[in-house]
Amino acid sequence: MKKGLIAIVILAVVGFFAIKTIGGGAVDKGIENLKAQGTNCKITKDEGFLTQTRDVECKIEDAKKFKQNILNQLSNKSQDLKPLYNAISKALDNNEFYDVLQGLHFKGTINSSNMNPFGDVKTNIYLSDIDASVADKNNEVLKRVLDKKLVNFDMVFSNKGVLKNLKLKDIDETFTEGKETIDSKIVGLKINNSSNSDKVIMDASLEKMLFKLTKENKNIHLGLDGMDYDIEYLNPYNNKGNMTLGKLKVGESAKTSFEIGKSIVKVDTSSSSEKLKTKIKYEMKDIGIDIKEIRQNVKIGDMELDVKIEDLDLATYKELNDLSMKIYMKATDMKDRKDVEEILALQQKSFDIYKQFLNKGLKTDVKLDIEDVKFQNNNLENIELDIDLDIKPNNANISALSALGIIDLKADLEMEKKDFETIGKFVPRNFYQMAQTFVNFEKGKAVFKLVVKDGKPTINTKPLM
């Protein structure tokens, strides 16, 4: 079974069916629109007076037309990402993808009020069948997925067909095929949409997710205890988002495991007519890496990273972004040496614009704080790094050496004295000896203050070069 491809296709198709079927608050008109876009939907049951319930069945009959219509709508929403959608379109232009699209069958119900023409429309849609040409109809896992309607979504739309919220039916199943057992659990997956004509505003939440594969002596697992995510997106240069994850655990119990007790990511990007700035914050707690084969175990109590970049030149940043898209598109559709040469030419142009980008100047502030590290019977209590980098507007031909002349840099690294001594046990000896010649000890801490000014780098006022 083409499991991964089928899963991706189902998610795209479900939302599209529901939105288009009730588009403009007129179900019949929505079905006519779907036919023109390569899809056959029919009402199999229609009942109710004050409130109306319609049962529908949907199947894609022209996969190429269906795919192109979805991508056209996405690119119309964000012209900045149109090259990316074009690249996706080329990547999906193959018979396997089209066979999957045309092999899926969906059923559902649409509930609306005839008393309130401006009221919401409630929709349920689920995967009802898959053609034998796409998947093995005798597969026990597939049989249960279809019989129990496990791929099942509840959605609420405005009367204009705008998705307001979506909820996946909770899944808690154990599948067995021969000696292989798969435990699957997805609980409380919800998406709420408050978008308007100007920007996308959405939030999503998940209570629990677990996938565990047991096969002979192997036990592979992926578990997540909770997720909250929200985003406001106007365009690639004006957006912000926040994500909080509960305990995340990934690995194979007999070999390697990786877990994070809690993680938070915050991103905020904004632009004026000429400048761009962005702020990124990562926070992770109770990180654990266990590699049993080589008996290595690392634990980190808390890690925070704050990055702030300002005064980026917006015009050259957009040029770099556009070139990156073009290179990606060429790389996904590369056929001969001519395409390779075109990619190399684009990469050279990208490098030239990157130099112009640095010539315009920027400011960067980075803060890193790591606490309570344990590994190889060693403990590190606290390490703090603070970097301020200012690239002044310049006309330099940027290179590794000339770069020193156009930057002002301050980098402060602090750690407990005992942490500095612990690090000396496992880093190369010559490196530690060099660090000892520069270090200052202040109030029980090992301190390194790197300064680059007028092309001259120093550490704790001692020349580095």
pLDDT in tens, 64-104: 877 777 766 665 556 566 666 666 666 667 777 788 888 88
Mapped onto helix, strand or coil, the DSSP state of residue 104 is strand
pLDDT at 29: 62
CA 240 vs CA 58, 277, 463: distances in Å: 36, 12, 42
pLDDT, position 25:
47
21-39: average pLDDT: 60
Please state, in angstroms and rounded to a whole number, the distance separating the CA atoms of residues 21 and 29. Answer: 8
Mean pLDDT of the chain: 84
Residue of higher predicted confidence among 434 and 6: 434
Residue spans of the domains in the chain: they are 1-166, 318-465
The amino acid at 305? L
Check pLDDT > 70 for residue 270.
yes
Higher pLDDT, 456 or 309: 309
CA distance 172 to 152: 13
Find out whether 254 and 292 touch, Cβ atoms under 8 Å.
yes
> Based on the number of CB atoms within 10 Å of its own CB, is 14 exposed (0-12), middle (13-18) or buried (19 or more)?
buried
By CB atoms closer than 10 A (0-12, 13-18, 19+), residue 217 is: exposed
**At a CB cut-off of 8 Å and minimum separation 6, what does 259 contact?**
247, 248, 249, 250, 251, 286, 287, 288
Listed range (123-132, 159-168, 218-227) with the worst mean pLDDT: 159-168
Taking the C-alpha atoms of residue 386 and residue 335, their distance in angstroms, rounded to an integer, is 47
What pLDDT is stored for residue 84 in this prediction? 62
User: Which residues make Cβ contacts (< 8 Å) with residue 111, sequence separation at least 6?
Assistant: 51, 52, 53, 121, 122, 123
Residue 24's pLDDT band (cuts 50, 70, 90): very low
Task: Tell me the pLDDT tens digit for each residue of 107-149.
Answer: 999 888 777 777 888 889 999 998 888 888 788 888 888 899 9
d(Cα 415, Cα 169) in Å, to the nearest integer? 49
pLDDT at site 7: 54
What is the model's pTM?
0.82
Q: How is residue 75 annotated by DSSP?
A: H
pLDDT tens string 410-449: 999 999 999 999 999 888 999 999 999 999 999 999 999 9
pLDDT recorded at residue 209? 95
